[in-house]
Copies of this chain bind each other. A is one copy, B any other.
Amino acid sequence: MLKPAIPKGTRDFPPEAMLRRKFIFNTIEDIFRLYGYLPLETPAMENLPTLLGKYGEEGDKLLFKVLNSGDFMGNIPQEEIRQGNAGKISQMICEKGLRYDLTVPFARYVVQHREEITFPFKRYQIQPVWRADKPQKGRYREFYQCDVDVIGSNSLLNEVELIQIIDDVFHKLAIRIEIRINNRKVLAGIADSIGERENFTSITTALDKMDKTGREGVVNELNRRGIRPSSINKLGPVFDISGDWHQKLTGMIKLLKGSGEGEQGLKEIEKLVELLEIVKPESEIGWDILLARGLDYYTGTIIEVISPDHPIGSVCGGGRYDDLAGVFGMDNISGVGVSFGAERIFDVMMQLKLFPEKAVTGTKILFVNLGEMEEKYILPLIQVIRKSGIRAEMYPEHAKLKKQMAFADAKGIPYVALAGEKEIASGKVTLRNMKTGEQEEIGFDDLGKTLLKS
């Protein structure tokens, strides 16, 4: 007999988990909608050429490929099979792959539908992605991404809006956050200022480790990557900059003088701060001059969000990019977006017990089923309760009362109603609060009101 199991690195989401996940996704989605972003969905499978080469060599290996239907072996020369190059053969027998992220399908969508889209295009996308990563704690082969982007606009108002969205989402989820921002042009300016513009990538990679290894670690990393000691020494003043936005800005303006890109980056930071001071987000926002976030993709503002009360890496992040769709033949389309880490947000909320009880309660009231007469009494009444929007069910079998109470208990149903001969005669039900154990006889007309209030 087949022992039921699922592929490693994948998960079933039972109702308890689903209710919580839906609470997160619905909260995020409602806020996206409030700011005028609209939903998009793309197919789980993309043509392999759409995906290949977009995530580096390592990424290509992590793509799940879908076997062609029918006689997929027919077209492969024996010689190829003998040589047994798995990568090459896989592309002969697979035309399609599962999406690896939401960014590439989004870029593909935008280019494919450029004529129909009204720009600036504000879209969000909440769908699973698949990666053939080695499964380990907290890393899955199927997980949801939750992206929000606006493309076709250079305005910093978009950055401000995304920061407002981040602020609103985490406020609504009751998660305290710190938002860190920076600008890739500032990093380019720093590389300029120490005469190492050509080693920009090495420098950002090293700087990105500040959080983990501290200043000393960064210096070691820079050394290892072959940056000249004299250049590294010039980084001193950058490391030393501190204070509020304005103090940092004053210091950086001096340091980056002469770097066109650096000065542009500082101007963008200045404008962003000016706008943020108008909208006044509730969350703490800081300028982290050394924040780098990945390597090749971003070209302007970068944003990272952490949860200081349960630090498990960033719970949201993103930035501005200038060439999302270039690889699909549509140049110079600038955009900015962030991605919410739904899986980590889930972990934070579980850890800090932040899920509101209402959000994770399924049925509000169970009507006990004592027999045929009783169920006929309840059937029309329960409809009235549901009409008022209360989630209600009747136990479908004439089981022992004890079993039905245990059922309510196991499902976390907060109220149980019981109607026996006596209640039926007087048009009432006995309502039991499962948490307190309190019971009261209550007229049916009052039942809905009582439940709505509770």
**Measuring CB to CB, which residues of chain A are less than 8 angstroms from any residue of chain B?**
1-7, 10-15, 18-19, 22, 33-36, 38-47, 49-50, 61-62, 64-67, 69-74, 81, 84, 86, 89-90, 93-96, 98, 108-109, 111-113, 116, 118, 120, 122-123, 128, 130, 132, 141-142, 150, 153-155, 157-158, 160-161, 164, 275, 278-280, 327-329, 362-363, 366, 369, 375-376, 379-380, 383, 386, 389-394, 396-397, 407, 410-411
Contact = CB atoms under 8 A, between A and B. Distances in A.
A391 B36 CA distance: 6
Nearest to A168: B386
Contacts of A39: 13, 15, 18-19, 22
Nearest to A363: B36
A66 B64 contact: yes
Closest 8 CB pairs of A and B: A36-B393, A15-B38, A10-B43, A18-B39, A36-B363, A1-B329, A4-B112, A155-B396
Protomer copies: 2
A141 B94 CA distance: 16
Given A67-B66, A93-B67, A158 B7 contact: no
Contact of A411 (B118, B157, B389): B118
A383 B282 CA distance: 13
A161 B367 CA distance: 14
Nearest to A67: B65
Contacts of A329: 1-4
B61 A64 contact: no
B392 A36 contact: yes
A391 B34 contact: yes
A278 B379 contact: yes
B2 A46 contact: no
Contacts of A112: 4-6, 12
Contacts of A122: 393
B2 A157 contact: no
Nearest to A66: B64
Nearest to A280: B380
Contacts of A407: 118
